[in-house]
Chains A and B, each alone.
Chain A
Amino acid sequence: MIGIAYALIAVIILILVPWVGVQGLGLTYLFGVIIPYAAMAIFFFGFLQRLVKWSRIPNPFKIPTTGGQQKSLNWIRQSKLDNPSSTSQVIGRVLSEVFLFRSLFRNLSPRVGTGGSGVTYASAKWLWVFAILFHYAMFTTLFRHLRFFTNPVPFPVRFVEGIDGWLEVGIPQVMVSGLVLLCAISLLLARRLVIPRLRYISLMNDFFPLFLLIAIATTGVLMRYIVGIDVPSVKQLIMGLVSFRPVMIDGIGQLFYIHIFLVSTLLAYFPFSKMMHSLGIFFSPTRALANNNRAVHHENPWNYPVKFHTYGAFEAEFRDKMTEAGIPLDDTLATSTGKE
């Protein structure tokens, strides 16, 4: 449980650093330009490095977890998504994991009966619900942020904003995704805190990203709805960064620097963290490979010969017993050596 404390302290420090740095020491260029650039670079190269590292490791064997009927006889219906036998079916399976969290949707939980009466199973979809809410809210929020990176703001971004503001309340208009995001992260955190089994397996590495995201989302919400920052200046700063002609603009609120520093931390941390599951799912041998080993040969690049016990050696040992039992011997023994 000490992991929670460490994670919380770490995030508090991460909030204080830009506050002191900008407010106290006036290091706006450091926090507004240098650190975001450095974070982007770490993210980019870290991610790429991981991608290269993973893709260079071979899949010696094709080991999909089969979750449905195999392709066999033509009158038996194959479960194409859960037991893919072709590349397009594999893509379907992976996409169903990426967009719908299909495996998580299966989740069920044993219920222990009283007095040794056994166990029954009930569907347990809460984790799936929280995860879907979180990821889609996160995606929408990120997508909306493109308005700071583009000029003019392209239609899809404005369109999503329009949908996101469907509640049509508040000035500025309330964006549902931001609120859902905060709720979902809180629920994911609550899960880890409340469910004893989750508490037992959770590490600092699990709490830290949650606290960090809460801090990021909270500063975002504060900026938008409560404290208020100079949005045109922010956009000017970001456009400067994007076009590699950074400009410093005075008078952007303190909160912005905290927000952008936390985001920078998240970016720099991302490639070295469990958040790399986002890439990992595409590489997972149990999901991203077809169950067609018997139909199509799969080569193991580091396959090497082994010296197995040959038939010749076997017959040499048991020749007499085999003869006596009437089991035929091999008359061409010279040719029957083991595969090289």
Chain B
Amino acid sequence: MGNDLPKLEELSQIDLTMPEAGWMDTPVILRKGMYCHAARAKDIEFLNMPNPRDWRVEDDDWKLPENWQDIILDGLRERLQKFRSLRIFMDTCVRCGACADKCHFFIGSGDPKNMPVLRAELLRSVYRHNFTRAGKIMGKMVGARDLTEKVLKEWWYYFFQCTECRRCSLFCPYGIDTAEITIIARELLNLLGLNIDWIASPVAKCHHIGNHIGMEPQAMKESIDFLCDDIEDITGVRIEPSFNRKGAEILFVTSSGDYYSEPGIFTCMGYLMLFHQLGLDYTWSTYAAEGGNFGYFTSHEVAKLLNAKIYAEAKRLGVKYILGGECGHMWRVLNQYMDTMNGPPDFLETPVSPVTGTRFDNAASTKAVHICEFTADLIKKDKLRFDPKRNDHINVTYHDSCNVARGMGMFEEPRHIINNACNNFHEMPEETIREQTFCCGSGAGLHAGEDMELRMRGGFARANAVRHVREKHGVNMLACICAIDRAAFPTLMEYWAPEVGVTGVHELLGNALIMDGEKERTQDIRGEDLPYLEPEEKGDKH
């Protein structure tokens, strides 16, 4: 963690009172620790996006093109014609305040401009000034203001303080979705080259190498082979996955976080073990090697650009359908965008589980099935055998990853898996799970190192609920189905709720799964000794 990160005591002081001065009279202060570094010229150039140059957030001069106001206003005008969502969300807000205290960034920071209503007003005020008659005439009186450089910087600061988690949208009586507003606002900022490094760099790598971390094909294969070595050590079963194999039935796509670093790799081991046990005819791809889509945090166009590779690869390999791993915004894109952006994929077939024969009609057009749907079906049809005792050292709670929760609605499938693979499962308070789940605070491309204070503040609401079940039920593991969660939570837990680990659902499954030909397991997937096998306990039982 950064050295500048404030102490726990300081961030624990939750203060949601409002300042004296009105928000329009409060100029933005870009506070270190609350924002990410600026995108670099080479990454922007790489995607042929506008205004590539190296710039620093701390500098007064952001090296904007001379006609930057026209660019933004023309861009806004264009999007008001193209997105009904934007127009409706600009026009219908009544400022009832229902959303105000729903945002994890507001709860954790107390900054009024983190109230979803005000985050939207940042853009809406400019909309009023330039696109409504009342705003043109009456100005500030009716909440309209001119687009100045100060306002632009305020946009940049606050639209990169939103993780597009949609919690506010759930509570809005008109369904106004700040995620949508943030997506479009970021799209506008990108017209001026105002992206952040943590997004622009993964996007460039994903575009050309195939995944966010820039892992080349041979390295990716090597990484997954290493995981297979570990699986062999633990289970005695040798797994030989295939890559870029034509004629496979299924193309498996997941976030690169799953084959790159802990604890994601343990989830990946769970996938590998499951597929091997089933004898699944599937392949990995080193070209469409990324399920996550940081393009989605840049613009719709870049989202489409990166997403297009998945169908292209499915077509090239001649698979029947796509199986997707545990990843949050990947599934927002796959569930609500992919088929529209790059489909319909007529060259694929409606997914059918080769093991159970279940036809996934809910994916009849997009031909992409979530692995939790796939696995829950296997369990329901009794195709897997478990020894949940192997998870007895784990006292787990489950975090509904926001995109899968509010952009898809997958709540029961992962719970069904956990309940079968584990004996100790405790839910967090109901106001903080399922559709009301709180974001990890690091989503939508904000999972950098330099904005650690922002991440800890944003993740407070989630961690606060974890702390609650840790104290009440002795929970020591937080399960999730999102690669950004898995990357962000360890730091968040260390800060707010020490002693709570982080896992994917398929890691839990991998622990409990009884594989054909396996040796007696003495270790879990992480290579840690299984406590229930320790001599004294063993003596008690036998």
Contacts and interface: CB of A to CB of B under 8 A. Distances in A.
Interface string A111-142: 01000101111000001000100000000000
Interface string A54-81: 1001111111111111111101110100
Interface stretch (B27-35, B147-155, B460-468): B460-468
A46 to B, nearest CB: 11
A205 B416 CA distance: 49
Given A54-B84, A291-B408, A309-B309, A196 B17 contact: yes
Interface residues of A, number: 104
Interface string A267-311: 000001010110011011111000111111111101100111111
B83 A68 contact: no
B218 A324 contact: yes
Nearest to B343: A297
B194 to A, nearest CB: 21
Contacts of A73: 358, 373, 376-377, 380, 413
A195 B115 CA distance: 15
Interface string B455-480: 00000110010011000000000000
Contacts of A233: none
A106 interface: yes
Nearest to A318: B217
Interface in B274-325: 286-287, 300-301, 304-306, 308-309, 311-313, 316
Interface stretch (A13-21, A29-37, A96-104, A251-259): A96-104
A286 B177 CA distance: 7
Interface stretch (A169-177, A213-221, A236-244, A325-333): A325-333
Interface residue tally on B, bucketed by range: 35 or more
Interface string B410-450: 11110010000000000001011001100000000000000
Interface string B325-363: 000000000111101111110000000000000101111
Interface of B: prevailing SS: helix
B88 A54 contact: yes
Interface string A1-34: 1110010000000000000000000000000000
A339 interface: yes
Contact of B316 (A196, A203, A297, A336): A336
Interface string B88-107: 10011111111011000001
Contacts of A186: none
Interface string A311-340: 100110110011011111010000010110
Given A276-B91, A293-B335, A328-B243, A286 B133 contact: no
A327 B13 contact: no
Contact of B339 (A64, A297, A315): A297
Given A294-B363, A327-B286, A281 B92 contact: yes
A201 B340 contact: no
A127 B368 CA distance: 41
A295 B210 contact: no
Given A108-B431, A294-B365, A322 B286 contact: yes
A285 B366 contact: no
B97 A197 contact: yes
A147 interface: no
Contacts of A50: 91
Contact of A71 (B174, B243, B362): B362
Interface in B224-248: 243-246
A120 B464 CA distance: 9
A227 interface: no
Given A63-B85, A73-B380, A294-B368, A338 B117 contact: no
5 contacts: A116-B9, A197-B112, A198-B95, A294-B364, A322-B217
Interface of A: 1-3, 6, 50, 53-54, 57-73, 75-77, 79, 82-83, 85, 97, 101, 103-104, 106-110, 112, 116, 118-121, 127, 131, 195-206, 272, 274, 276-277, 280-281, 283-287, 291-300, 302-303, 306-311, 314-315, 317-318, 321-322, 324-328, 330, 336, 338-339
Q: Which 8 A-B pairs have the closest CB atoms?
A: A116-B12, A66-B409, A280-B92, A325-B218, A286-B175, A70-B409, A121-B431, A287-B175
Given A57-B87, A73-B413, A296-B364, 17 more contacts: A6-B141, A59-B85, A63-B177, A64-B336, A68-B435, A69-B411, A76-B416, A118-B468, A127-B97, A285-B84, A287-B174, A291-B408, A291-B409, A292-B362, A295-B362, A317-B208, A322-B244
